[in-house]
Structure 1
């Protein structure tokens, strides 16, 4: 029997599903804890459990389906999806990266929230760039470029390059890329390689995210291939892109930003396959995020403007998904801004205290001692653990490096014991955001342990954490909650309300294109919070007209309450907890390439190729050259993505201005080649 192994690595769990390659029926599924300090452990466990090589030894991991050992030789393909890229952007984590901007003024950082996204990462401004017609705007200042590269390289792990109008002529990006590689041997991400669309700051942001994610995706792919080798799986490894299609592992290493929304895209594919619904709102709740998409006539649209995650807008083609930092493991914390002392959830993910207690029982005695103290501290019931190897990265700031060395030496620690100043706390926060340390604190997973709807981990640790958080005071001197149970209910109500709000935002956006309408409308927020039900004078309800398909390990726990707030029906399909792994296993390969033709002057039709520009006197000749080039690039990308059987379709869009009297003026043409393909193991594209 020919089979395919699908994997889905999230912030909390790594899921596996083995399906029959002939009829796509599910044979066996498994779940294993994701091991952030060494991804290969969690990935390997999920694979071994699914294959029947090993059985879970505790309740933290499990399998379902047939219990017989499956033949390793029958696995013809391994397909990997992940939410790690999405989570990294939502949590503002990832490697330290330098962004090289060629031909841009410094105020470009104010556009598209580019400067906000870059944060403390270095930015290098270099003279150069091109005009909209592809001709040189200013010569590339290679001397300044080389000086900046040499001085910045010790501080970063990768470079991103974006040049003015690089999609019309990528020459300066290519030169800069070769300079950086030649003098640093570091990874380089070029904006023209990721998108053919105009919009410099947005392209720069996309290249920047791609560079930040290179190390993360490399670690995951290396971990997966290492485990495949140990198990004896000699087949191809494919990775799910944000549009739900598959690419080879090597392709994903070079363009990791295209795996933004990989996990959600795989879940959408899995949900459409598993649920007997043509129209619905799909909600996938993970540990870090909730991903919302809309199923229409059995299909999900691609985003016209590119993937949007956590407030950032990119140029990566992806399924149309609304992603928010609300998950089962979202950090519960107290905000002292407006409104005063509100309980806040996310966007940062934390290891639940109940899970920490199961893995590190010493935390229980630490929290018991904290509870004996007469004064509550903001650091109570908050722990930190290193995700680094034996040495801190060389590019860390001095305060961060000092804290990293302490973490490596001490291991899992109470934050109160390792950071006693604001400088130290700031260094810890930055280590967490850079993916070098893991926070553990109270989360919704702890709340459901206390209220009795989930009991797999250590309930005592959850209770102690809730008691410590509940006794903290707001800026009016009032305690946050009267009991651990009261705090837990506040936490779950917050998750339910915020989730319903984001679903409403998505529904309104789909109807009329407006963003965050529900989030910015007090009346809608009041209705979703159920406050109007307590009024004797005015009541109004929200009713979602489509059913909700809920996915994720905690969907059964949280989504009945969310569906109730929205007055709609709820569908939780079989295998909902591993929908991403199933969606990964049933994916196929799709690639495309677009070539633009402009008319810079009368009688000149300019084809903007990925290697430069070519001019023609006749439009037909230019179109023919663009078709040829687009086909070659699209089919090369499909082959690099892992396809062996391909079929290419050409599309042309010609824009003309009507001059009247039967005359028109050529403005622009875009020629697109779309290539569909399959691997030898999965011919049913």
Structure 2
């Protein structure tokens, strides 16, 4: 009797980029790509691009797709990022508790009510129930979601929760409180984050439903996750309430995928897409996070994201003739070889025109090259050479000569090039430019973003703080939107460690059936005054994760805390 062969258990990773939606089947046991494919991104209906990318999957090394069992589906999406940049969020109201933060806000529907919490988490001005009721009932007919934000809500969330309770009595529309999204001080940025998140919830609902329908139509019953901007995973249910956490998820997935494919623990990842090139750094399996959070369009948020540097260079970057020579812009135009205007030229067209790429309309690219070289009064071959040199020069200037990566250990980091145009352009850089770093273009470089999605892991981080409480000569532990007071410092730290660990563990376990491990660390911060040292605070961090990549905030925290939010 022959033993029945068990189907290979793979992860389906899908990345919806600006130009293409890429898909891979990844075997986590053998750490190999089993199948890959890509399809055009359909921005007006991302479901179609996801459908077609799955249909395009082709085995890499003789594997039979019918023998593969999908155990998990992971997506990264541009939906939230695009909606914020293009101002497509749904009408959202904002109820502010206490003073108004300084700076612009992403909504005009704003109501202020009384109430105040101080930096220690004590209520110093009570709320007026009638005022809350009036603000809520007047706002509800005008909006599709409501954000609630109070200055010190991260130290005491009682006021925000009281307002949310009143809203819930009148409506089932989405309601988001500031303390639910961030534990950081910074009243303005937290308020912006809260409003944007609320405005995205009605949009993400349609996407989540489309993903569920797509998987059901294909008989895929595996759990579905999305990649967050910090490279960690979140379940569909979590993203339905916190869609803003998916901003910049594509670049984060690309960094993870590059490291997996290059089989190295450190490097500068350069992801060349259709419109831009994104660069990020991984050091010893640690993905560097932005010190202040993701910035999207004009809005600075408190959403954790990979620390990225982005510049205008992609396969679809516009080239035009001026003063007898080509000019490389930062704007995107459809390449002539893929149905763009017949006189438009892009880096992709340059490769089609010289025969490096053959899958698109070579004749259209050659026509665009001839058209522009005639306009410039130049020989077509010379014009082509000059235009290619411009692309190489921009890569060298923005990737290899970037000041942020030029000191100490970083000066020796290799560049890992990924993205559909990467192999040709970085081969030219290696052959024609004077660069002093190793260049790695790994196998499957063109779908590294989808590989990153497939290999991402759950990670939840919770921070807590213990500080002296001058009013009682004791200590206060700030954790989970609460402030708890103690007479003894060790008791306060023990409480903060326990609470932070339990919250992180619960948040990670709620994402799905992964095995979660939680680590809790604490650090005493002291300030030197003359020849003496003064205790300032104890910082506690709990990290619950299912994978091996560590997400490390690149942040220089102040030695003492200012008394404002």
TM-score (norm 1): 0.67
Is 1:672 the equivalent of 2:541? yes
Aligned CA RMSD, in angstroms, stands at 4.0
Residue 353 of structure 1 and its aligned partner are, at CA, apart by 5.4
Residue 314 of structure 1 and its aligned partner are, at CA, apart by 3.3
Number of the residue aligned with 1:608: 478
* 1:350-392 Cα distance to aligned partner (Å, 9 max, x none): 55454346xxxxxx7xx8xxxxxxxxxxxxx9xxxxxxxxxxx
Number of the residue aligned with 1:579: 448
Structure-1 separation of matches of 2:321 and 2:498: 59
Match of 2:435 among 564, 567, 581: 567
Is 1:100 the equivalent of 2:94? yes
Match of 1:552 among 391, 400, 419: 419
* 1:232-264 Cα distance to aligned partner (Å, 9 max, x none): 011101222223222211112222222223222
Match of 1:502 among 398, 401, 418: 398
Structure-2 separation of matches of 1:353 and 1:138: 64
Number of the residue aligned with 2:466: 597
Match of 1:635 among 491, 505, 514: 505
Match of 1:33 among 40, 50, 53: 40
Specify the SS of the correspondent of 2:240: helix
Is 1:653 the equivalent of 2:503? no
Aligned ranges for residues 123-142 of structure 1 at < 5 Å? 124=110, 126-127=112-113, 128-140=115-127
List gaps (5 residues or longer) in structure 1.
Answer: 53-62, 336-340, 358-363, 368-380, 382-440, 472-478, 514-542, 679-685
Is 1:77 the equivalent of 2:64? no
Structure-2 separation of matches of 1:323 and 1:236: 32
Total equivalences in the alignment: 532
Aligned ranges for residues 31-180 of structure 1 at < 5 Å? 31-50=38-57, 64-66=60-62, 68-71=64-67, 74-86=69-81, 91-98=85-92, 100=94, 102=96, 108-109=102-103, 118=106, 121-122=107-108, 124=110, 126-127=112-113, 128-140=115-127, 157-180=144-167
Specify the SS of the correspondent of 1:301: strand
Specify the SS of the correspondent of 2:496: helix
Number of the residue aligned with 2:28: 21
Number of the residue aligned with 1:199: 186
Number of the residue aligned with 1:314: 301
Aligned ranges for residues 258-337 of structure 1 at < 5 Å? 258-277=245-264, 279-297=266-284, 299-308=286-295, 313-330=300-317
* 1:406-443 Cα distance to aligned partner (Å, 9 max, x none): xxxxxxxxxxxxxxxxxxxxxxxxxxxxxxxxxxx875
Q: Give the stretch that moved more between structures: 227-236 or 562-571.
A: 562-571
Residue 18 of structure 1 and its aligned partner are, at CA, apart by 1.0
Specify the SS of the correspondent of 2:123: coil
Structure-1 separation of matches of 2:227 and 2:364: 37
Aligned ranges for residues 443-482 of structure 1 at < 5 Å? 444-446=347-349, 448-450=351-353, 452-458=355-361
Specify the SS of the correspondent of 2:303: coil
Structure 1 residues 299 and 594, CA, compared in 2 at 3 Å: closer, same or farther?
Answer: closer
Structure-2 separation of matches of 1:146 and 1:331: 54
Structure 1 residues 330 and 225, CA, compared in 2 at 3 Å: closer, same or farther?
Answer: farther
Is 1:345 the equivalent of 2:215? no
Match of 1:619 among 477, 489, 498: 489
Q: Is the CA contact (8 Å cut-off) linking 1:605 and 1:616 kept in structure 2?
A: yes
* 1:137-163 Cα distance to aligned partner (Å, 9 max, x none): 544466666666566666654444332
List gaps (5 residues or longer) in structure 2.
Answer: 1-7, 548-565
Structure-2 separation of matches of 1:545 and 1:192: 41
Structure-1 separation of matches of 2:80 and 2:385: 31
Structure-1 separation of matches of 2:373 and 2:379: 6
Structure-1 separation of matches of 2:327 and 2:63: 48
Match of 1:257 among 220, 223, 244: 244
Number of the residue aligned with 2:15: 8
Q: Is the CA contact (8 Å cut-off) linking 2:319 and 2:327 kept in structure 1?
A: no
Structure-1 separation of matches of 2:99 and 2:383: 50
TM-score (norm 2): 0.80
Specify the SS of the correspondent of 2:293: coil
Specify the SS of the correspondent of 2:56: helix
